[in-house]
Amino acid sequence: MNPSTTREPAIHLQNVCRVYHLAGENIHAVNDVTLDVGPGVMTAIVGRSGSGKTTLLNLIAGLDDPTGGTITVLGRGLHTMNERERLDLRLHKLGFIFQSFGLMPLLSARENIGVPLRMRGLPSHEREDRVDAALEWVGLSERAHHRPYELSGGEQQRVAIARAIAEGADLVLADEPTGQLDTRTGRRILDLLRRLVTERGITLLIATHDPQVMAEADIVHEMRDGKLIATRVRDQVKGVDR
């Protein structure tokens, strides 16, 4: 568990399990995980492929249901929400950053950023203002009309970050956000992710096996075989109300 804080956790998991039944065998992808993720903190879930970290992100996002236990995200219990309410939570409060960037190939950078805002029915002038501000924040204003295949991997990931900013996300879930990038580009993306936390107060939860991310994160939880086995907290965040 994280060090206690005076503020409510952004994410709270209590005895969460996810069991899959494959070929007559029970696979415990997530096994009795209890965890708090503090607000305004960069937290990393680390572990080898198959350790359960991506499954955990999917459960937190409400994309999958736990076999047991409860999950609370931004003060709301996912078990009390129907699918429409979960979709609204994802559209209004959550941002997502994927290893494969998650961009629509036929849309420009600015169009990709604007898709969630269109889904929310925002007026066109507000959409445009948000998209422009987000592109400027990630340094891609001059690449706004380029499609993903015209952008480098680092630029595509910056578009994904800009999409989360434009949405006004309170919580960003990132699955291996530097996994397809070289070390130097990965460092630049990691610097942007850090700025999401320090400049914008966003809570960031990253599933990763990248040593750079592990070194940068405020709190690192290690998973193995679906279980949390260890936690490391950076000295400067110990005992601090984050």
Mean pLDDT for each 10-residue chunk of the chain (242 residues)? 61 96 88 95 92 94 95 95 93 89 92 92 93 95 95 94 92 92 93 94 94 94 94 68 38
Contact indicator for 20, 39 with CB cutoff of 8 Å: no
Stated as kind and residue range, the H or E segment containing 145 is none
Among candidates 119, 99, 112, which has minimal Cα distance to 57? Answer: 99
For residue 155, what are its two tokens? 């630029």
CATH fourth-level superfamily of 39-62+82-237: P-loop containing nucleotide triphosphate hydrolases (3.40.50.300)
Question: CA–CA separation, 46 vs 222, rounded Å?
Answer: 5
For residue 193, what are its two tokens? 């992710």
For residue 235, what are its two tokens? 């000295």
pTM of the model: 0.89
Contact indicator for 155, 143 with CB cutoff of 8 Å: yes
Backbone angles phi, psi at 34, to 5 degrees: -120, 125
Which pLDDT score is estimated for 4?
A: 40
For residue 175, what are its two tokens? 């699955």
Question: CA–CA separation, 221 vs 232, rounded Å?
Answer: 7
Among candidates 109, 60, 127, 98, which has minimal Cα distance to 189? Answer: 98
Per-domain boundaries in the chain: 39-62+82-237
Backbone angles phi, psi at 94, to 5 degrees: -110, 145
Can you state the angle between helices 124-137 and 153-167, rounded to 10 degrees? 130
Among candidates 64, 49, 50, which has minimal Cα distance to 16? Answer: 64
Backbone angles phi, psi at 216, to 5 degrees: -85, -30
Distances in whole angstroms, Cα of residue 75 to Cα of each of 7, 61, 184: 11, 13, 37
Distances in whole angstroms, Cα of residue 40 to Cα of each of 6, 60, 92, 198: 13, 17, 17, 8
DSSP-assigned letter for residue 186: H
Which pLDDT score is estimated for 49?
A: 86
Can you state the angle between helices 109-119 and 124-137, rounded to 10 degrees? 130
